[in-house]
Amino acid sequence: MQEKPVYILAIESSCDDTGAAVLCNNKVLSNVIAGQEIHAKYGGVVPELASRAHQQNIVPVVAQAIKESGISKNQLDAIAFTQGPGLMGSLLVGVSFAKSLAMALNIPLLAINHMQAHVLAHFIEYENSKIPTFSFLCLTISGGHTQIVKLTDYFSFEILGQTIDDAVGEAFDKSAKILGLDYPGGPFVDKYAQFGNPLSFKFPYPKTKNPLDFSFSGLKTAVLYFIQKKVKENPDFITQNRDDICASIQHTIINILMTKLELAVTQTGIKQVAIAGGVSANSGIRKALQQAETDLGWQCFVPKFEYTTDNAAMIGIAGYYAYLQNNFAANDSVAKARMTL
User: What type of residue sits at position 212?
Assistant: L
CB of 45 to Zn ion, least distance (A): 12
- Number of residues in contact with Zn ion under rule CB under 5 A: 2
Site for ligand KG4 in 263-292 (CB under 6 A): 277-279, 281-282
Q: Choose the one of ligand KG4, Zn ion, none that binds residue 190, judging by a C-beta under 5 to 8 angstroms depending on kind.
A: ligand KG4
Q: Choose the one of ligand KG4, Zn ion, none that binds residue 279, judging by a C-beta under 5 to 8 angstroms depending on kind.
A: ligand KG4
171 touches 310 (CB < 8 A)? no
329 touches 111 (CB < 8 A)? yes
Stretch binding Zn ion (CB under 5 A), from 53-61, 86-94, 140-148, 215-223: 140-148
CB of 281 to ligand KG4, least distance (A): 4
Helices (H) and strands (E) in the chain, counts: 9, 10
Q: Output phi, psi for 116, to 5 deg.
A: -65, -40
Residues facing residue 109 across a β-bridge: 79, 329
> Between residues 114 and 220, which has the closer beta carbon with respect to Zn ion?
114
Contacts of 73 (CB under 8 A, 6+ apart): 9, 66, 105
Is there binding between residue 12 and ligand KG4 (CB under 6 A)? Answer: no
> Between residues 6 and 337, which has the closer beta carbon with respect to ligand KG4?
337
CB of 19 to ligand KG4, least distance (A): 10
**Cα–Cα distance for residue pair 9/98, rounded to 1 Å:** 9
User: What type of residue sits at position 242?
Assistant: R
Question: What is the CA 176 to chain-centroid distance, rounded?
Answer: 19
Q: Choose the one of ligand KG4, Zn ion, none that binds residue 257, judging by a C-beta under 5 to 8 angstroms depending on kind.
A: none
Site for ligand KG4 in 149-178 (CB under 6 A): 169, 172-173
Is there binding between residue 142 and Zn ion (CB under 5 A)? Answer: yes
Q: Choose the one of ligand KG4, Zn ion, none that binds residue 319, judging by a C-beta under 5 to 8 angstroms depending on kind.
A: none
Q: Where are the beta strands (DSSP E) in the chain?
A: 7-12, 18-24, 27-34, 78-84, 109-113, 136-141, 146-153, 156-162, 272-276, 299-301
> Between residues 15 and 92, which has the closer beta carbon with respect to ligand KG4?
15
Q: CA-based angle 156:122:191, to the nearest 5? A: 125
Q: Kindly give the interhelix angle for 47-69 and 88-105, rounded to the nearest 10 degrees.
A: 30
Strands 7-12 and 78-84: parallel
> Between residues 31 and 309, which has the closer beta carbon with respect to ligand KG4?
309
Residues found near Zn ion in the complex (CB under 5 A): 142, 310
Residues found near ligand KG4 in the complex (CB under 6 A): 15, 142-144, 169, 172-173, 184-187, 190, 277-279, 281-282, 309-310
